[in-house]
Structure 1
């Protein structure tokens, strides 16, 4: 009999309609009907749920089809954080969004593509859903169970092939700054299409779920003092389970434990407790593979292989060489900086969030686009020139941590005897503020350096000394940094966290998303420009922003504007009442805001558009074809009339140039079969 699970993972008989333990309404199992169809439910007005695939501690997983993409199969991962209220759910979504945004950037054929994160009502409650590509295949846990039923297991050639096929995937994610953290036979799938292993269920989003439940799901008095750690017992090494520290070799440990399970059919704790090499009596392997697995599983992190490349070389193969010294194999142990701890630590106050625990400053980001990928690397390199000096000379960490990449790091600021206590306090406060806003240190340093050198061109390329004579310049640098943070804090937390990593693929993704709403990227750009140039009025308008570091800020604003369009806050459809051919809409705009309107019109209609306001505004009117010239573009004119040359959705974008809030009216009139006025009016 099939079981039903509530969002808390409680097991219920199939006939139950409410959870026997918590009372939650249960989703019925889809019922097959004559003709091969089935009853189903739709989530987010887009994804038709076909059946439940499984359940976990944070919600359920469903097989669905995307009705907007030719009914492609996809996987919906439901997260049901135990929080109350809209604000708490929004904060939870921000935390999930940071992790999902990191995983969205991973583009590898053996990693399911993450499509989107969205919020929807499901069974009467607000839920968060993560959407990813569906993998047609079986987990290695299921494959092992099938073999166990036939009294045999995986053999050495099979697990060696698995290692050789999976190590390049781990090498890719580790160079991208991501640790899987939950590798096991359950989270590996053998894909039917090509027989390759696929890495699924990254731990970052699960960690976000743990943090949400820990930090928002309980009152401060009820939060326990212990921490929630992520990882499966036996698969995760001790430093991960005991201290929440994860490294590339943490995934390698879990991979070796997975191999042992596939070889023996026994769980790691049955093989590695006590005499850690007792597993060798369970299966006969070549001395080389035994040596490789023992080193991967060494309880001392210093003695393990430190990279997937090193394991591959030990097996007799190789991975594409990296040009970063920090990731090369080495004979002696060189302790890498720990990746941010995978802990959901109980906060002092409900609602405060720890920073994302998935990403560290990557040695080299995978390129998804030629132009913006290069500029992201460029500013990370250039931004270290002054900031790295600041760390080395201004802030001496109390516990120095070698960094896994050549990027700026302003964490753990402590006293520097050369500076006054006031300066030390100022720098520590600046660093704390940057961390709270989730802004990358290297990215911030690049922005501030540009402003600093513009003000002091004679200092361009020179490092400030730690002497008293440069104290004033150091204070000016800190002042500029705070000014940048003042402006950047107006951007959403999710968009801020991605500054420094936006690429051309993000531009294309936004374009595709806005096109689905019958809006062009030109209109979205207008909305973005309005906000950007309000925040940064000193920036010249005639420049290629995307090829400059500040283009990352523009992209983050574009991401926020897209969200506003999706929610309807920045997009409205004008429809004529029945029997009428004119309509008027009204609105208000804050400084730096804009709003887009669309109306479906017909070729040869004569239309008149009027914008009525007594404040500074700009009006753009775009035809349905994106390659066609704008009827008006960033114009101070408040009206346009003319005969339409094509049918489709026309766009009208109103943006404010005023210093405060404004009110406005937009009227649209359309008529057929009358003489056309001069389009130049």
Structure 2
């Protein structure tokens, strides 16, 4: 199968997405969808100025997920391509030496043909998790931001990573909320998308792009996001260890305030003015201020010294982990990625060339030039502050739970016992506490919208509301009990990568994701009928849908969730009988031929629905239909899918008959 950038599923060798019309990636290899004889493209994650980023499976490593970064700057000529490959290989070799648990491992660099052109591709580990941009967007939707304890913890966890790469002479160049991933496995921040590769790409374009006689500016060669990258990096291309410290501090303030750098820099003085937005401890505030001073030499000289200053100012107590996040794109229409797109951000319209040697007689003139450059740079910053971020890629919002009321000695004995019973039952079911609170909060707020975002107090005034919350919690646990233990333990951790794996698993059975989603929807809407017609995947309740889907995949793979119907020349009529429990379904596949006449008959009560899909999904014969018959000429050859689901509240019988001429 092939996938567009929005995650829509298409047949192999498709040129355009059947759902949105996007031109699809074509791989010119002996196996469709395979690059470099070992990487199966699952979907495109993003696209930048020099190439695309893909999520792929390494078929030589048990279909392990990985990320492919394409290097394809628009340059012409054999020499330019060879020079680009040489520089790119050198940078990739540097990244390959990085061996740190909070940095994705760079696996290899290889050349492959894409769309008839030679491209370089860099392979690195895939990090399952959500970016801090995604986490922040969710909190902003709830009127929240990261607190000082969380940001302090983030700094303490990332500064050793910077100290490690700096000790090897490597500078990240592009630290921002997009390029920090909260890893699902251990909830540690992971630093991704190093800017060195993008800087090579920018340099190649600058040196070898055809000159435009009408151009009024020189090619853009700066890497880094305006507002996050310090002035010397944006306007002069000068980077140092202090450049990463500046970007990390800017990231911290964005997480703390929920506002972008252009909203935190004073338009008149062009100085950071974050104190009007948030009150921080003097110790942390002073550390961030020193990391953000305009002159690199006035900042901390190393990440280790920042960490030492931070540890001196922070009491020795364990900081709470950032709670797990929840994927939010609709499974049928989109599949999101946790990895940022590989993209060069817009920088200065012009830049200054720097000489590698200076004579004594030129010192005075150079000093004046540097002063003029600094003034012009700050002037330019002021003009660009309002327009930067326009190209910031869209990200997937996530849900960060607000803690539910917790038992305190002020509760009555009856209420305390009730809460203890809920806690014990949740633990027995193996459900994550943070996710559980987020889910119950969502359902509670939908019943009581005036309470949204509020924390219930332990006072008698909130006793009735606490009782409602506990009642909803008990009902939720009853419904989640139907999930398998494995599915329950993953609640709050499901990601787009899980849906990608499910697609691959069911495709091997000649089933599509539509069939999987039909079966999942039937059970989900039986448990939560209020979400029909809603985009619920971007909410905690969407994780329950994922848990149900996990169990459906297991049933299909085991063979108990679907059945193959075989026709012979002597027997052109096949029929199957079944019994469906409420919210359950069954899938069938039959191999049929193009232009063959088929008649479909279903005997069942109206609350039994049927869907029928062609092999590639390009034709939907029936979809969640109460019709009891269909007949016509088949549009293509392959395995047709038939899905029968029940929306009844009691067990129902059905008889499915297929006549193939």
Give the alignment's TM-score, normalised by structure 2: 0.47
Give the alignment's TM-score, normalised by structure 1: 0.46
